[in-house]
Chain A
Amino acid sequence: MDSASSDRTVPGQHLAPTVARSVKVLVVGAFGVGKTTLIGAVSEIDPLRTEERITTASVGIDPGQPNKETTTVAMDFGRITVTDDIALYLFGTPGQRRFWDLWAGLADGAVGALVMIDTRHLEDSFEVLDQLELRTKIPFAVVVNQFPDSPNYPLERVRAALDLLPETPIVECDARDRQSAVLTLITLVEHAMTFPVFQKVNA
């Protein structure tokens, strides 16, 4: 924890009194792929962090501590008040299988997920995509975060390498840039609207 957030007298930055509904989007990806950067670029509050103790699903993932059964995982998040009455929360969470317990709960009720990809480490994203496709039904869009030294692959090549379904959106993004990050959210929500599960009107 940094010193600013350890001061318990700091009041919370409250939502406007008109906000009566919240929705969430997950931002998943491997460590260091830029999840918190993207959340910070669009959030109206400085990204916050919570930590959760979880039981790891697999043995032997962490060779240094083969008997470790629980671990603490950090979740960074931010929010955008998108209309007078709706707040959109973005929860960043590592996507690896061993964190499944954490984000299975998070995925419940989510509008969708942004899957962040670093083309320098494409193999890191296979597990995340497998988890999403096999274990959830939530809509997702793939976001290729452009780092200064990222190879400039055409998106269709990345799509093929990741074996994405034809309808899954894939977009490039500079996670530090607000408009670029907002566009990824627009892409995801547009994609979610094509899912029958969201067709029902329940205002």
Chain B
Amino acid sequence: MDTEEYHDHPVRSYVLTSGRAHPSRNTLRPETLVRAVESRPVLSTAGRLERELVQLCRGTLALAEVAAYLQLPVSLVAVMVSDLVDSGNLTIRSNHQAHVLPGKDILEKILDGLRKL
């Protein structure tokens, strides 16, 4: 059942992103797949949340999943993920261009997959 309660978050978002509300790239969506770059050590200046985020992404996850596990808003995690892509600690796994809709071939594959469920 839907519970859909409202909660407030105790941490003010701007504290975690040094005052920025927008990510350094605008191609990140909730479903964008991200993954840690294993060979790249996290900078010693990185905060606890950044380390946790990279740790979480040892396997592929969507941005929204990262946000849910960290209990932070997607918009905030997008800023953090974008920074970590810039620093080389995360890579965007989705190998298609953002803002390009899936083609008919992709939809056919999805249909085949759904019919086998």
Give how many A residues have a beta carbon under 8 Å from the other chain's beta carbons.
70
Report whether over half of chain A's contact residues are helix, strand or loop; otherwise say mixed: mixed
Set of chain A residues within 8 Å of B52, measured between Cβ atoms:
8
Distance from B6 Cβ to chain A, minimum over Cβ atoms (Å): 5
Distance from B106 Cβ to chain A, minimum over Cβ atoms (Å): 7
Within 8 A of B (CB), among A7-22: 8, 10-12, 14-17, 19-22
Central interface residue in B60, B96, B105, by most chain A CB within 10 Å: B60
Asked whether B101 lies within 8 Å of A21 as measured between CB atoms, the reply is no
Contact of B69 among A8, A22, A35, A202 (CB under 8 A): A8
Listed in ascending order, the chain B residues whose CB lies under 8 Å from chain A are 1-9, 13, 29-33, 52, 56-62, 64-75, 93-96, 98-115, 117
Asked whether A182 lies within 8 Å of B114 as measured between CB atoms, the reply is yes
Asked whether A77 lies within 8 Å of B64 as measured between CB atoms, the reply is yes
A3 to B98 Cα, complex, angstroms: 35
Name the CB-closest residue of A to B8.
A72
Distance from A140 Cβ to chain B, minimum over Cβ atoms (Å): 15
Other 7 A-B pairs with CB < 8 A, given A1-B7, A21-B102:
A12-B66, A20-B94, A72-B7, A73-B6, A74-B5, A83-B113, A87-B62
Asked whether B69 lies within 8 Å of A111 as measured between CB atoms, the reply is no
Distance from A203 Cβ to chain B, minimum over Cβ atoms (Å): 5
Contact string, A105-137, partner B, CB cutoff 8 A, digits 1/0? 110110100000000000000000000000000
Asked whether A74 lies within 8 Å of B110 as measured between CB atoms, the reply is no
A100 at the interface (CB under 8 A from B): no
A24 to B1 Cα, complex, angstroms: 21
A155 at the interface (CB under 8 A from B): no
Asked whether A82 lies within 8 Å of B7 as measured between CB atoms, the reply is no
A126 to B39 Cα, complex, angstroms: 52
Set of chain A residues within 8 Å of B115, measured between Cβ atoms:
186
Given A15-B60, A35-B2, A5-B71 contact (CB < 8 Å):
yes
